[in-house]
Structure 1
Amino acid sequence: MRTLALLLAAALTLGTLSPAAAAGPSEGAPPPYDGDLMRLAEILGALHYLRPLCGVTAEGQRWRNEMQALIDTEQPSDARRARIIASFNRGYSSYAEVYRTCTPAAKVAVDRQLDEGARLAHEIVVRFGGN
């Protein structure tokens, strides 16, 4: 579960990004980490679907709550907020279309999502975090 802890900690650390990184190169432009953030949102959506499907019911709404915390931290414009939410929903629905029960492939998908999410969150914080 080390990857899980890294993902959660790093995703919530996004609020410590430097103002220049968060603002992007010009007013209204997405930040340079925007593509990675969209992928992270997609991963959170996938985990929101897959974890309960594979019997991890104790987490409840954890991944949705993490997504909300990420949005609250980012304080995106309405358009960017809609894109972040669409990424989360895409992650959720793409797995809902494929998996109706927890299969060995679904368990592998969970592990891959956790690993990629932790890597992305870490890279965003390392490359763009701090002042």
Structure 2
Amino acid sequence: MTCTRLALLLAGIMAVAPFGHAIAQGQRQQSPPPTQATPPPEAPPPPYEPQLLELAEIMGSLAYLRTLCGGKEADVWRERMTALIEAEGRTPQRRERLMSAYNGGFRAYSATHRSCSGGSQEAARRLAAEGDRLARSLAGRYGG
């Protein structure tokens, strides 16, 4: 992914803060047929991988909380995560890490927030602010 494309993607990710449901939830990954060769080793991840995974987790958390609290933009987070995976998921392993981070954030909040409360709304506000800060930092540092 080019630096400019990454910057545009990151700028759009947190532009509207509240969206959706877990990506690939309930989907099972299929193993390659036994006759296929093992894929080549994965290239080293980019230097911004930890921050990108953190952003994916935040997006999953927001997806759950905004859906729980009836946010009108609930599907937006899932769509943005899909765009991030399409842009940054260059290998199956990388796609899996991004999806796992998103789904982990979604599951973490679903385990502790069963109904929309003041705490749920405050958590969503804080997560949106942190996601915005992180996206801006990534775009500024790696977006070219």
TM-score (norm. length: structure 1): 0.77
Give the % identical residues.
43
Structure-2 residue corresponding to 1:55: 70
Structure-1 residue corresponding to 2:44: 29
Structure-2 residue corresponding to 1:94: 108
Q: Is the 8 A contact 1:10 1:122 kept in 2?
A: no
CA gap of 1:28–1:8, structure 2 versus 1, over 3 A, is closer
Between the aligned partners of 1:94 and 1:76, the Cα distance in structure 2 is: 26
Query: Aligned match of 1:114 in 125, 128, 131?
Result: 128
TM-score (norm. length: structure 2): 0.70
Q: Is the 8 A contact 1:11 1:121 kept in 2?
A: yes
1:39 to 2:54 alignment: yes
CA gap of 1:70–1:95, structure 2 versus 1, over 3 A, is same
Between the aligned partners of 2:115 and 2:108, the Cα distance in structure 1 is: 14
- Residue correspondences, number: 109
CA gap of 1:51–1:60, structure 2 versus 1, over 3 A, is closer
Q: Deviations over 1:80-111 (max 9, x none)?
A: 11011000000000000001101111111000
Query: Aligned match of 1:9 in 11, 23, 32?
Result: 11
Structure-1 residue corresponding to 2:119: 105
How far is 1:10 from its partner? 4.6
Q: How does 1:60-71 map onto structure 2 within 5 Å?
A: 60-71=74-85
Between the aligned partners of 1:82 and 1:71, the Cα distance in structure 2 is: 9
When the two chains are superposed, the root-mean-square deviation of aligned CA atoms in Å is 1.9
Q: Is the 8 A contact 1:45 1:90 kept in 2?
A: yes
Q: Deviations over 1:2-56 (max 9, x none)?
A: xxxxx962549xxxxxxxxxxxxxx811111100000000011011100021121
> When you count helix as a share of all residues, which structure comes out higher?
1
